[in-house]
Amino acid sequence: MSLGRHFWPFLGVGKLSVLRTAALAARENAYVPYSHFAVGAAVRVGDRIFSGANVENASYGLSNCAERSAIFAAVSAGYSKLDELLVIADTKGPVAPCGACRQVISEFFGPNAVITLANVAGQSVQTTPQALLPGAFSKEILTLE
């Protein structure tokens, strides 16, 4: 069952479970004809969830990552202070955001926001927006593949 690309009210289950479900559903819509590396993301704002997938272009600089797709969907709906983010991919360990995504995350998530980096196998690590910024990497983030 696809949850769609818009926001949903929470369905009475744990917030992280809802974020993971939304991110996995979004990942199914990834457009990745070049890298074949599908990523999904979900953003929570209060009781709303926004999802996004990565969308590639032959000119890689014009591609958009899943995290930015989900964040931009929330911002486009009128939200600029976001609460939680989950990013998921089929990687050996939890997937780490690229530099552009780290900058966008720092713009829209406050110091109390929770950022969960995960893989489809069920591994995850939680961090903060500040820990993702250059010069402030935590040991856990540096070891992600």
CA distance 85 to 140: 17
The series of mean pLDDT values per 10 residues for the chain, 145 residues long, is: 37 70 98 97 97 96 96 98 98 94 95 94 93 65 46
> What pLDDT, on a 0 to 100 scale, did the predictor assign at position 20?
96
Position 14 scores a pLDDT of 59
pLDDT at 10: 40
| HEC-encoded secondary structure of 10-64 | CCCCCHHHHHHHHHHHHHCCCECCCCCCCEEEEEEECCEEEEEECECCCCHHHCE
Instruction: Say which of 28, 56, 67, 140 is annotated catalytic.
Output: 67
Active site residue 67: yes
- What predicted TM-score, i.e. pTM, was given to this entire model? 0.84
d(CA 110, CA 59) in angstroms, rounded, equals 32
